Amino acid sequence: MVQKTLAAPTRTEFGKGAARRTRRAGNIPAVVYGHGADPIHVAVDNLNFLSIVREEGVNAVIALDIDGKKTTALVKSITQNPLTREIEHIDFLIVKKGEKVEVEVPLLVEGEVAPGATLLVGIDVLKVNADALNIPEDLVISVEGLEAGSAITAADVKLPEDVELVDDPELLLVSVTFEEESDTESTAAEEADGEAAAEE
């Protein structure tokens, strides 16, 4: 697996004001931690980071170039501004070859349910343990032809080899219900009831 390299020079200024200046310069404040090492405060280029995440996914494993020293790290968490969606901070977790990490993998729903049924998606990620250097980009759930009353739980998801489920096996991911009558049908029924009442 070829890892993308991202420059991550250390930061010497801290606090909210320093973080704002870092973001105004087109960078994202971040911290690198793990394996008993002291946390390292760094900054990464916003556009370069977004490019890697778009290509590798939210659980991207990146070779961070910290002042000339390469460190393999997993994108552990991303903090975004709830209004602007601007990335405010990143947590990177140092990982080693062969090490397993706990991550949330996006669920991809494929297929169409049976006619007259409606699909309800309750969970869009699944928590698993996976090789840090071989994390699946997504997990596929097929709902093709499922009829009303059907449900898919975490235990039903087929996981790649060496990937272990962390979430409760009985966790409900998707369910299929009867299709609700359309607004037009509801309105027509209400009007009919009103006319019948008026005649009485």
Give the domain CATH number at 53.
2.40.240.10
Both 65 and 114 in one domain: the answer is no
In a domain, 183, yes or no: no
Query: Are the CB atoms for 130 and 71 separated by under 8 Å?
Result: no
Chain center to CA of 15: 28
Last residue of a domain, one of 73, 95, 117: 95
**Residue 54 backbone dihedrals phi, psi, to 5 degrees:** -60, -35
In this structure, the answer to whether residues 29 and 110 fall within a common structural domain is: no
Query: For residue 190, is it within any domain?
Result: no
Determine the Cα–Cα distance for residues 111 and 154; give it in Å rounded to an integer: 18
- Sorted by sequence, the CB contacts under 8 Å of residue 149 that are 6+ apart come out as 176, 177
- Residue 190's pLDDT is 54
Q: Are residues 89 and 62 in the same domain?
A: yes
> What 3-state class would DSSP assign to 33?
strand
Do 173 and 124 contact (CB within 8 A), yes or no? no
**Residue after which a domain boundary falls, among 95, 112, 143:** 95
Nearest-angstrom CA–CA distance, 144 and 110: 7
Residues 36 and 88 in one domain: yes
Q: Do 83 and 158 belong together in one domain?
A: no
What are 123-134's pLDDT values in tens digits? 999 999 999 989
How confident is the model at residue 191, as a pLDDT? 54
Amino acid identity, residue 1? M
Q: Which helix (H) or strand (E) holds 110?
A: strand 100-110
Q: Are residues 70 and 142 in the same domain?
A: no
CATH classification of the domain holding 110: 2.170.120.20
pLDDT tens digits, residue range 105-116?
Answer: 999 999 999 998
With respect to residue 126, please indicate whether it lies within any of the assigned structural domains: yes
Lowest mean pLDDT: which of 10-19, 71-80, 82-91? 10-19
59 and 92 Cβ atoms separated by less than 8 Å: no
Report the alpha-carbon distance of residue 126 to residue 134 in Å, rounded: 16
Of 52, 67, 95, the domain-final residue: 95
The answer for 17, left when phi > 0, alpha when psi is -120 to 50, beta otherwise, is alpha
77 in any annotated domain: yes
Domain count for the chain: 2
pTM flag (> 0.85): no
- Residue 189 located in a structural domain: no
As a whole number, mean pLDDT of residues 96-103 equals 90
At position 20, the amino acid (one-letter code) is: R
165 within domain boundaries:
yes
Please report the pLDDT score of residue 195 as a whole number. Answer: 52
31 and 87 share one domain: yes
Listed residue (47, 37, 44, 45) closest to 10, CA to CA: 44
153: domain range?
Answer: 102-178
Amino acid symbol at 176: V
